[in-house]
Amino acid sequence: MLSDAETIMRKAVALARSSKPAYHELYDFLERVFAAQIQVKPRCRLSLNPMDGEAIKARWTAGLPLMRRWDFPVDLKAAHEVLEAVTRAVPEHNRELSGACSAIFKALAQNPSAKDAIWESFLHHDWNPWEEWLDTAGVDLPSLLYVARSCLRPSIERTAEERLQRACPDDHWKAGFCPVCGSLPSLISLEGEGQRRAHCSWCGTPWRLARFQCPVCDNRRHASLGYLYAEQEPGYRIDYCMECRHYFKTIDARERLWPLWIPLEEWTTLHLDLVAQREGWKTPPSPAPAVYETDGFAVPS
């Protein structure tokens, strides 16, 4: 019997197949990867330092996320299970993804005592520590990062969910970056009476945004915030900020008869990125500069 999450995911993929056929080559692969992540996540066993509700609220009141991306624990067995599932799901003609999977498998096999360090190296964003173990010659870097972080995603999401069992950010969090890990949203959804809800690009945490608020620079001046629609794409828009020139893809969830599956929407809205970039707007980084540049690390554009 499928879990609620897997039922929602498979329904979302089925609807996308019919409504967005342009992405038809992705659906079989993504559905198998998402299913593996969903099935593995409840089995993750993670070592997480305790943090009570009052400590969490105190950090949020001070405008601080609970963790940094490299602080997330990793379940090695879960990561390996997803890696095997991704490898089986890769289409035969996709050499980039196949090469990425092979590079990770090879590194793990050749460095059995460094498995923790290899997986944890992909929690970083400003340098390439995995190159100590991985032979990346001829390996497509975006594919490598996608595969590795897909394998880490169950551990990351499970960690965020466990943190949020102690407190809810909606009453305490006002920033545009994630209250758990300090990352920016991958997508924004509109709900209820037009409330905006951000969805973290790293750990999947949802949180509220102000009606007028740029997640990158926290600009809240209505006159310098705007949005544009893609032609023949009802229910989607691109929110942009004239101050920092970044944009975010936004989905009107009120028009949906079925819950969103955000990881799928990240892929099936790639055409909106092209629309935004043609208009001169910049793709936002995943790590929020307001959080990670203050730590002395460079945030990639």
* CATH code assigned at 267: 3.90.1670.10
Q: What are the φ and ψ backbone dihedral angles of 207, each rounded to 5 degrees?
A: -155, 160
Q: What are the φ and ψ backbone dihedral angles of 209, each rounded to 5 degrees?
A: -115, 155
Number of domains in the chain: 2
Identify the three-state secondary structure at position 218. coil
- Choose one of 166, 193, 219: the last residue of a domain: 166
| Selected residue with higher pLDDT from 51 and 180 | 180
pLDDT reported for residue 9: 97
3-state helix, strand, coil in the chain (%, to 5): 50, 10, 40
pLDDT reported for residue 129: 79
Q: Model confidence at 126, in pLDDT bands (50, 70, 90)?
A: low
Q: 283 lies in a domain? A: yes
Query: Tell me, what amino acid is at 287?
Result: P
How many other CB atoms are there within 10 angstroms of residue 231's CB atom? 5
In 49-76, which positions are buried (b, 16+ CB within 10 angstroms) versus exposed (e)? eeeeeeebbebbeeeebbbbbeebbbbb
The reply to whether 115 and 211 lie within a common domain is no
pLDDT reported for residue 259: 84
The reply to whether 81 and 212 lie within a common domain is no
Smallest CA-to-CA distance from 45 within 148, 159, 205, 123 is with: 159
- Choose one of 104, 132, 166: the last residue of a domain: 166
The reply to whether 13 and 159 lie within a common domain is yes
Query: How close are the terminal C-alpha atoms of the chain, in Å?
Result: 43
The reply to whether 214 and 152 lie within a common domain is no
The reply to whether 107 and 192 lie within a common domain is no
Whether the CB-CB separation of 261 and 34 falls below 8 Å is answered with yes
Q: 10 lies in a domain? A: yes
Mean pLDDT of 281-292: 94
Residue 298 has pLDDT above 70, yes or no: no
The reply to whether 146 and 14 lie within a common domain is yes
Pairing of strands 247-252, 236-241: antiparallel
pLDDT reported for residue 258: 80
Whether the CB-CB separation of 154 and 37 falls below 8 Å is answered with yes
**Which pair of structure tokens corresponds to residue 198?**
């951000």
- Choose one of 113, 131, 166: the last residue of a domain: 166
Residue 295 has pLDDT above 70, yes or no: no
Residues β-bridged to residue 103: none
Residue-number span of the structural domain to which 132 is assigned: 4-166
Instruction: Write the pLDDT tens digit of every residue in 170-229.
Output: 888 999 999 999 999 999 999 988 899 999 999 999 999 999 999 999 999 999 999 998
The reply to whether 81 and 226 lie within a common domain is no
Across the chain, what does the average pLDDT equal? Answer: 93
pLDDT reported for residue 12: 96
Query: Tell me, what amino acid is at 288?
Result: A
Mean pLDDT of 53-70: 93
Distance CA 44, CA 240 (A): 37
Q: 172 lies in a domain? A: no
In 145-165, which positions are buried (b, 16+ CB within 10 angstroms) versus exposed (e)? ebbbebbbbbbbbbbbeebbe
The reply to whether 118 and 28 lie within a common domain is yes
Residue 301 has pLDDT above 60, yes or no: no
Q: 45 lies in a domain? A: yes
pLDDT reported for residue 257: 79
Highest mean pLDDT of the ranges 126-140, 194-208, 248-262:
194-208
Q: Model confidence at 49, in pLDDT bands (50, 70, 90)?
A: confident
Mean pLDDT of 41-67: 93
Residues β-bridged to residue 196: 190, 209
The pTM score is 0.94
Mean pLDDT of 133-158: 95
How many other CB atoms are there within 10 angstroms of residue 283's CB atom? 12
